[in-house]
Structure 1
Amino acid sequence: MNIYEINTVEKTLDVLYNDAKKDFIRIGRGLIKSAFRPMQPIDFKHAYLPISKEQGETIRQLILDNNCKTIVEFGTSFGISTIYLADAARKNDGNVVTTELLENKAKQASQNIEDAGLTDYVDLRIGDAMETLKDYDKPIDFLFLDGWKDLYLPLFRLLESCFHKNTLIYADNMDMTGTQDYANYILKKKDKYVTQDIHNGKAYISKFL
């Protein structure tokens, strides 16, 4: 890891976070579209909906501290979180498998990841995560959940057989109602998972026992 690589990552993140400041306009447009029907992912095809810089630093440090190499992400969006994950994976000689439903987001994320110099560490899959990850069978060191909230639990259960002792799961937006089924599931399984909330309850970190 050299200074050029570090600067490339941080400069790319700065550009993306600056653009994400306009999300309030993009989200507003999406909410208007969903005024007369349930919200859909397509309503937010132009919105970053990013993790915070604090969250990004947290997941990067968790991966480094625990020497996680195989990382799976649900919800690429425009790639901000993926860049944090991949930067840590690079330092650990690991890789990230990430999945994004919307093609326009996936294409832009791919460019953003390339701008950060991290393409070699990312396998970006486009489509419904229940399909793009249905055949995934490698051990998972770190799972990042930040896609459509109703899918947290189904996707988690799809991948659960890939967990091993000390697998870490970081679930964002746990203060949203759509994640309640996942919360109920993981909090009841105290014999399998130890879970704590962080960032004032916005996220859960769980460890597989």
Structure 2
Amino acid sequence: MITNTINELFNEAKHDGSKIIKGIAKSILRPIKPSDFKDAYLSISREQGEDLVQLIRKKNLKNIVEFGTSFGISTLFLAQGVRETKGKIVTTELIESKATKAIEHFKKAGVNDLIEVRVGDATDTLKEFSEPIDLLLLDGWKDLYLPIFRMLEGNFHAKTLIYVDNADMRESKDFLATIAQNEKYQLESQYQGKVVLISVL
């Protein structure tokens, strides 16, 4: 069921291009906002998703936190992995309509029991998070990468991995430059710099 659901969502995401252009067009008169992309999937690629599944299996990752659910494609890949490691996912989504649809997709895929969805600003919904994190997936609003990283840093351990999507964007590069200054972390570029995997040493 999970593979079929992912395939269906990727098929729907084929129309993302025009939705993204419409969202960007709104920024001509004002700063761009997350709500400008409330209808866009903004998803990771299928290859990224499959690599994440393999990473979770290989490293036996159980406790996963995701910043940026959108309609749930990336979360479904994470669920494929934790279903085997007997783990769980806490994922966040700012836009309520997206979160509602994502939950429908999780139920359809039969993995809703593995996923907790927190709706709202992640700097609020994850503020009291106190469990160890094996994998943190950053794939939301880029200027929040550093605040969320800092907020959750106390939950990292020696084997924690941080997966940074859209690492080639300006705000992401600023975030990564800051993290690279700390010798506690090791950064590895993937997908021609579009993704960076951060390891806690």
TM bucket by the smaller chain? Answer: over 0.9
Give the CA RMSD over aligned residues. Answer: 0.7
The counterpart of 2:25, out of the listed 24, 32, 42, is: 32
How far the C-alpha of 1:25 sits from its partner, in A, is 1.3
- Please list every run of 5 or more consecutive structure 1 residues that lacks an aligned counterpart in the other structure: 1-7
The counterpart of 2:87, out of the listed 94, 107, 111, is: 94
- Does 1:199 pair with 2:184? no
Runs of 4+ more than 2 Å apart: none
Q: Calculate the TM-score normalised by the size of structure 2.
A: 0.98
Percent identical: 50
How far the C-alpha of 1:28 sits from its partner, in A, is 1.5
Q: How many residues align?
A: 201
- Give the distance between the partners of 2:18 and 2:128, measured in 1 at CA: 38
- Of 122-131 and 173-182, deviating more is 173-182
How far the C-alpha of 1:132 sits from its partner, in A, is 0.3
Query: What's 2:147 paired with?
Result: 154
How far the C-alpha of 1:166 sits from its partner, in A, is 1.0
SS at match of 1:71: strand
The counterpart of 1:68, out of the listed 55, 61, 67, is: 61
Q: Calculate the TM-score normalised by the size of structure 1.
A: 0.94
Query: What's 2:115 paired with?
Result: 122
Matches for 1:116-195 after TM superposition, within 5 Å: 116-189=109-182, 191-195=183-187
Query: What's 1:208 paired with?
Result: 200
- Of 47-56 and 85-94, deviating more is 85-94
- Of 179-188 and 143-152, deviating more is 179-188
SS at match of 1:112: helix
Equivalent residue letter for 2:192: N
SS at match of 2:3: helix
Matches for 1:45-60 after TM superposition, within 5 Å: 45-60=38-53
How far the C-alpha of 1:180 sits from its partner, in A, is 2.4
- Please list every run of 5 or more consecutive structure 2 residues that lacks an aligned counterpart in the other structure: none
For residues 40-89 of structure 1, give each alpha carbon's deviation from its aligned partner in whole angstroms, at most 9, with x where no partner exists.
00000000000000110111111111001000000000000000111111
Equivalent residue letter for 2:5: T
